[in-house]
Amino acid sequence: MKLGLVTYNWGKDWDLPTILKNLQVAGWGGVELRSTHKHGVEPSLNESQRKDVAKQFADSGIELVGLGSACEYHSPDPAVLKKNIEETKEFIVCTHDCGGKGVKVRPNALPMEVPVAKTLEQIGRAFNEVAEFGAGYGVEIRMEVHGKGTQELPHMKTIMDVADHPNAKVCWNCNPTDLNGAGLEANFAMVAKRIGTVHIHDLITTYPWQQIFDLLKGSGFQGWTLVEEGATTSDPVRVMKYYRLLWERMTGQYVA
């Protein structure tokens, strides 16, 4: 497993050179750049700007794990759905041009006026479409386990059963709802073979962190675990160094 950052809240106010420098200092290897933050890596960049971003990453040795979009596919309005699909495709092209590996998307709601099964199928079909498009650019599409209702693992499994393209992956998000129903191990098993990335948070909360790392190891996962940290700190780089030590212990990758 590899340790990286999601620019939330740590990193949201850093420009790209600062992100790359701080990751190097902290010993973290990659980053998912969340859209709208100060780094400015967005589909609005021109060709020259995209080449510059790719060069900065290549020179730094830090991997652009992907771009974190807010694209979502649950709306019953066909125009809104189409807009989100087309915006996802713009993120895919931008990620490719910047040397990145993936785009994060999400489900975000179950509209009350629509049958749940219909919404889940719509999300899955849209996800499949952008996953197929992304495959043509070598860009993986990762659906975050996110949103009221949609973050329930049985619903995510339904979405993934519809979105059967091999380039459609899950971004496991370490939510409290992962423990619902039959529990973490059973819920994890529903999507384990489809996990592309993992969002992790504060490793000293009550979420069963050691168990999820053990499950990931047992499934053969060797990808990015990306820290999406909501807590603020006056010295994030110092905290990131401590975080890495704890992460190494919990993932079994500590070397004395």
Cα–Cα distance measured from residue 81 to residue 69, given in angstroms and rounded to the nearest whole number? 15
Mean pLDDT throughout 118-142? 98
- The mean per-residue pLDDT over the stretch 195-217 comes to 97
Assigned CATH topology for domain 2-251: TIM Barrel (3.20.20)
Is 94 exposed, middle or buried, given 0-12, 13-18 or 19+ CB atoms closer than 10 A? buried
pTM of the model: 0.96
Lowest-confidence segment of 91-105, 114-128, 227-241 by average pLDDT: 227-241
For residue 256, what pLDDT is reported?
59
Residue 233 has a pLDDT of 85
* pLDDT tens-digit map of 142-184: 999 999 999 999 999 999 999 999 999 999 999 999 999 999 9
Q: State the burial class of residue 206 (Cβ atoms within 10 Å of its Cβ: 0-12, 13-18, 19+).
A: exposed
pLDDT for the residue numbered 255: 66
Percent of the chain past pLDDT 70, that is, above it, reads: 99
Q: Which of the pair, 43 or 10, is modelled with greater confidence? A: 43
Grouping H, G, I as helix, E, B as strand and the rest as coil, residue 170 is strand
Helix (H) or strand (E) holding 197: strand 195-200
Mean pLDDT for all residues in the chain:
96
Please work out, in degrees rounded to the nearest 5, the angle formed at the alpha carbon of residue 162 by the alpha carbons of 156 and 165: 105
Q: Parse the chain into domains and list their residue ranges.
A: 2-251
163's tokens? 């979105």
Q: Tens of pLDDT along 28-80?
A: 999 999 998 889 999 999 999 999 999 999 999 999 999 999 999 999 999 99
- The identity of residue 254, as a single letter, is Y
Residue 168 CB partners (closer than 8 Å, separation 6+): 127, 128, 131, 141, 143, 160, 194
Tell me how far apart the alpha carbons of residues 233 and 177 are, in angstroms, rounded to a whole number: 27
Q: Residue 27 pLDDT > 80, yes or no?
A: yes
pLDDT digits (tens, 9 = 90+) for 92-121: 999 999 999 999 999 999 999 999 999 999
Nearest by Cα to 102 from 64, 145, 128: 64
What are the helix and strand counts (H, E) for the chain? Answer: 8, 8
**Predicted confidence band at 230 (pLDDT cuts at 50, 70, 90)?**
confident
